[in-house]
Amino acid sequence: MMEDKKILTGKKIHVKVNGKIIDQKNPLIIAGPCAVESREQIIHIAKIVKKYGATALRGGAFKPRTSPYSFQGLGVEGLKYLKEASELTGLPVVTEITDAKYIDLFNTYVDVFQVGSRNMNNYSLLKALGKVDKPILLKRGMSSTIYEWILAAEYLAEFGNTDIILCERGIRTFDTYTRNTLDLAAIPIMKKETGLPVIVDPSHGTGRRELVCIMTKAAIAAGADGAIIEVHNDPDNALSDGHQSIKPEQFKELMSVYKKILTQQ
């Protein structure tokens, strides 16, 4: 099946964020709002998620949205706010890059470059990011097969960057009750096929606030090396994806359970 795979052979690759190797015993927990809405907002949420156990900060500055009328992010200003929040909390910044022309800009403000679902097949972007000396968080495309996802990772590796963190974020299926179908079987498969760490995105994977914590726990059992979770202090009034963002108290509870599971492993 994988005759043309050249670099990601399944041999374990140690990927570090903030100097720490990502694995099940040292999970990467990326938390924060879907989008950076203001300086005050991102700093406030960064302090909250740091207090409860997050190891990295998320927040979109450049937001590719289905509707041109939806909030598109604060751009460079949002990156500056993320950097300030990072300096105040010590949390590394993870945010989505949408165009190769922003690479130099992101190198100034960002610790982990995120490739979103829509750009998993943006091969010119993947080639450019393969030359970046920072970890890449590669999300699975919303309609992509396992094989296609592996080959997207191969693009990064082929151009020099094997510091890749894979993210299962749910795939589009026939069901409409949830936003996507979170494919937990992809976790052990991708770890075996690539040797890379795999985290999950239960926020986009379900699109429903009440399912985020439950599916995170299920992902841990499936072998996930962490999660990227949308946390907002006022999700009902969020400018982006409020319906799938959990509240700080829910994140606190989730992290408490996460830590208990880690001690039992």
What pLDDT sits at residue 69?
A: 79
Half-sphere exposure (CA, 13 Å, Cβ side) for 263? 6
CA–CA dist 219, 213 (Å, integer): 10
Measured between its terminal Cα atoms, the distance across the chain in Å is 33
What pLDDT sits at residue 14?
A: 98
Between these two residues, 126 and 63, which has the higher pLDDT value? Answer: 126
pLDDT bin (cut points 50, 70, 90) of residue 262 is confident
Residues 153-191: tens digit of each pLDDT:
999 999 999 999 999 999 999 999 999 999 999 999 999
Q: Which residues fall within 8 angstroms of residue 197, CB to CB, at 6 or more apart?
A: 15, 22, 23, 28, 165, 166, 191, 225, 226
Between these two residues, 259 and 50, which has the higher pLDDT value? Answer: 50
Averaged pLDDT, 21-48: 97
pLDDT of 1 over the 70 cut? no
Q: Could you tell me the pTM of the whole model?
A: 0.96
CATH homologous superfamily of 26-257:
Aldolase class I (3.20.20.70)
Averaged pLDDT, 133-144: 98
Residues 94-134: tens digit of each pLDDT:
999 999 999 999 999 999 999 999 999 999 999 999 999 99
Single-letter amino acid code for the residue at 256: S
Residues 225-259: tens digit of each pLDDT:
999 999 999 999 999 989 999 999 999 999 999 98
pLDDT bin (cut points 50, 70, 90) of residue 265 is low
Provide long-range contacts, Cβ within 8 A and 24+ apart, for 243-247: 243/207, 243/208, 243/209, 244/34, 244/179, 244/203, 244/204, 244/206, 244/207, 244/208, 244/209, 244/212, 245/33, 245/34, 245/203, 245/209, 246/203, 246/209, 246/212, 246/213
Between these two residues, 26 and 1, which has the higher pLDDT value? Answer: 26
CA–CA dist 262, 223 (Å, integer): 11
Single-letter amino acid code for the residue at 143: S
Tell me the domain boundaries of the chain: 26-257
Averaged pLDDT, 29-54: 97
What pLDDT sits at residue 97?
A: 98
